[in-house]
Amino acid sequence: MGLFRATRYVASLPLVDVDELVSSGVRLVLLDRDNTCVPRDATSAPAEVLAWLDRAREAGLGLCLVSNNFHSSQVGRTARELGVEVVDHAMKPAPFALVRAMRLMGASREETVMIGDQVFTDVAAGNLAGVRTILVRPQSRKDLWYTHVFRVFERLALHNVTFDGE
């Protein structure tokens, strides 16, 4: 499959089918924070994301935020608001934080999916950790300066990729 290829491509987190995750054996969803759950230009998750998280919890899925964001207080606050566990300072694409999150949540690689908005961090980390990956479009055009650089290369990597829901 390739380090930078996601298992699936979906336009946004709220469009990921919770029932499909459950029926495919997923027990744990690892979630990126910035531009996946919370737009980079906002401090809170949109209502649609909160509703999706509620559906996921009702379906029995474990949820854990795995974030590269080094502002621990900000990431922790978001995790509390979302009602999810958290592993911060993830240093994705290194897979170690994903492995730590799976241990924390008691799930195997086969039962886990990583959902994020960046090919070179979220998808690569998920693939290195041996879990399924879902790439979503970023919620906002606002990003850190170096993420804008990576987005140029992402566009090349995503040439001819179709996102469900677009």
The span from the CA of 132 to the CA of 134, in Å, is 7
Question: How high is the pLDDT of residue 142?
Answer: 66
Question: How high is the pLDDT of residue 95?
Answer: 98
Question: How high is the pLDDT of residue 40?
Answer: 77
Question: How high is the pLDDT of residue 163?
Answer: 87
Q: What residues of the chain score a pLDDT lower than 70?
A: 1, 140-153
Residues near 116 by Cβ (< 8 Å), separated by ≥ 6? 31, 32, 36, 92, 122, 123, 126, 133, 134, 135, 136
The span from the CA of 106 to the CA of 57, in Å, is 16
Question: How high is the pLDDT of residue 53?
Answer: 98
Is 141:148 a contact under the CB 8 Å cutoff?
no
List the domains of the chain with CATH numbers.
8-157 (3.40.50.1000)
Q: How confident is the model over 100-138, as pLDDT tens digits?
A: 999 999 999 999 999 999 999 999 999 999 999 999 998
Intra-chain end-to-end CA distance of the chain, in Å: 23
Q: What's the full length of the chain, in residues?
A: 166
